Amino acid sequence: MNKDVLNAALRLLGRRDHSEKELVNKLRQRKFNSADISPVIEHCLSEGWLDEARFCESYCRRRSDAGYGPQRIRAELSERGIDSYLIEQAFANNGIDWQQALIQCAERRFSAAPKSHEERAKQIRFLIYRGFSYDQVQNMYK
């Protein structure tokens, strides 16, 4: 096992959790070859330093705290190579009140309730872009 690759992987994992796909991509960006990366990834997985379930839960929590909704977070986790089963498991275990997260996001972004149809449409578009469903947003405005 290449010690330079292992050290680079441990430095990356020391900053924050990564998905396996993210870690491989970052190691490739550092010009390490795949033959050296694979054993390091296997070693990190076996030691528990690289844990996709833990990454998924922390990512979900971090992004929801930043004001993003469940649809956007699911898509971002998928892009990072996380299996849909792990994504759903993280959402089931996180205990986030998405309606409350939606209200907090809207309060942070908008100073007041919409005064016109155009303002309301703009707010709805923004909240849907942030990953909240149309039904969640509509329920907030009732």
Per-residue model confidence as pLDDT tens digits over 18-40: 999 999 999 999 999 989 999 99
pLDDT at residue 113 tops 90: no
Instruction: Give the percent of the chain with pLDDT over 90.
Output: 84
Q: How many residues does the chain have?
A: 142
pLDDT at residue 66 tops 90: yes
Could you tell me the pLDDT band of residue 60, with boundaries at 50, 70 and 90? very high
pLDDT at residue 99 tops 80: yes
| One domain for residues 43 and 8 | yes
CA distance 60 to 63: 5
For residue 25, what are the domain limits?
3-50
The residue out of 78, 94, 110 marking a domain boundary is 94
CA distance 101 to 117: 23
What total of structural domains would you count in the chain? 3
